[in-house]
Amino acid sequence: MKSRRNFLQQATALTLGGALLSHTSWAESFFRTKKLPETGIQLFTILMQMETDAVGSLQKLAAAGYKNIESAFNKPGSFYGKKPKEFKALVHDMGMEWRSHHVVGSPMKPPPNFKIPNGPDGKPLSFPKMMTLKDNSQELVDLVAEAGIPYIVCSSIGIETGDEIKASAEILQTAGEQAKKAGLIFGYHNHATEFDVKDGVVAYDYFTSQIDAEILKLELDLGWVFKAGKNPVDIFKQNKGRIPLLHVKDMNADRGIVPFGNGVYDFKETFKNLDIAGVEYFFIEQDFPRKPFDDIVTAMNNFNQFKKTL
């Protein structure tokens, strides 16, 4: 027969347990296993503005509340005209941290009928000359290693045919080995086309199956994943712990890229399952915004509201 003492202990435990599990209790937030990373931004969102006024552009990002930075490809041998450590110090002094840098895998080939978007001046955007992993992988790795940031990410690479996919995998393998040797983490950033079948080969599946996870991590671009008709959580489960970085990109019903929160995608399930992927940082990104600095503020405000729903 249970003693009075045991009865009271069990009753107390049940009472506390019920309170802690209550959806209205403070315990729901107390027992969350992992805090959401600070909100970051990919600088491709303000590509041309960074090229013309890096300091002023970063100041506007800091004022909007962004904390983590992922840089985009830019002038060879520098980061927006600054040396690696100089750029890192600049970002840090503004209350932000530089976490990752994008590099191009192979010379970019615009898709058929691609029209270069216009910049704020109404003229077609011009892109800086770029080094690529195909031709300059060690130089790019050395540059990022000098900066002292953790991640170097391939933003895109040739995947138009099965043979091109296989050749690109070799480029990624080499760059990943070089990055690991330099103490960096190497990742691959997807678009929607990585999930298409090309000559019987799916680039995303080929890269993830043929290259060891210790050599190649993943930066999952959620917008392109949704556009490809995939569920990001399914990809999380297929690549557990292999996705330390995310791009958070929203689109409207016509698949036009818009500020986060102004589109049609539902990110709630994705953000509730970040631990499966092993996410360390995420970066809001909007390609070719018409009003870049207005849109980055809108995206941040919308994201702050979105966090309250998690």
Instruction: Please choose, from the candidates 99, 37, 45, 96, the residue with its C-alpha nearest in 3D space to the C-alpha of residue 271.
Output: 37
Q: Give the pLDDT confidence score for residue 145 in this predicted structure.
A: 98
Give the Cα separation of 68 and 204 in Å (integer): 26
Instruction: Please choose, from the candidates 95, 98, 97, the residue with its C-alpha nearest in 3D space to the C-alpha of residue 63.
Output: 95
Q: Give the pLDDT confidence score for residue 120 in this predicted structure.
A: 64
Q: Give the pLDDT confidence score for residue 34 in this predicted structure.
A: 60
Arithmetic mean of pLDDT, 142-166 = 97
Q: Give the pLDDT confidence score for residue 32 in this predicted structure.
A: 44
Looking at per-residue pLDDT, the higher value among 16 and 198 belongs to 198
* Count of residues in the chain: 310
Q: Is the pLDDT of residue 12 over 60?
A: no
Q: Are 258 and 252 in contact (CB under 8 A)?
A: yes
Arithmetic mean of pLDDT, 112-131 = 70
CB atoms inside a 10 Å sphere around CB 136: 17
pLDDT in tens, 30-58: 444 468 999 999 999 999 999 899 999 99
What is the share, in percent, of the chain residues with pLDDT greater than 70? 84
Give the Cα separation of 275 and 266 in Å (integer): 18
Q: Are 184 and 217 in contact (CB under 8 A)?
A: no
Q: Are 39 and 300 in contact (CB under 8 A)?
A: yes
pLDDT in tens, 222-272: 999 999 999 999 999 999 999 999 999 999 999 999 999 999 999 999 999
Residue 226 CB contacts under 8 Å (≥ 6 apart), including other chains: 232, 251, 265
Q: Give the pLDDT confidence score for residue 76 in this predicted structure.
A: 76
Q: Which domains does the chain have, with CATH numbers?
A: 33-307 (3.20.20.150)
Average per-residue pLDDT for the chain? 89
Give the Cα separation of 135 and 107 in Å (integer): 9
Dihedral angle sign, alpha carbons of residues 124, 128, 129, 134: negative
pLDDT in tens, 282-302: 999 999 999 999 999 999 999
φ, ψ of residue 41 to 5 degrees: the values are -145, 140
**203, amino acid identity:** A
Q: What H or E segment, with its residue span, contains residue 18?
A: helix 4-21
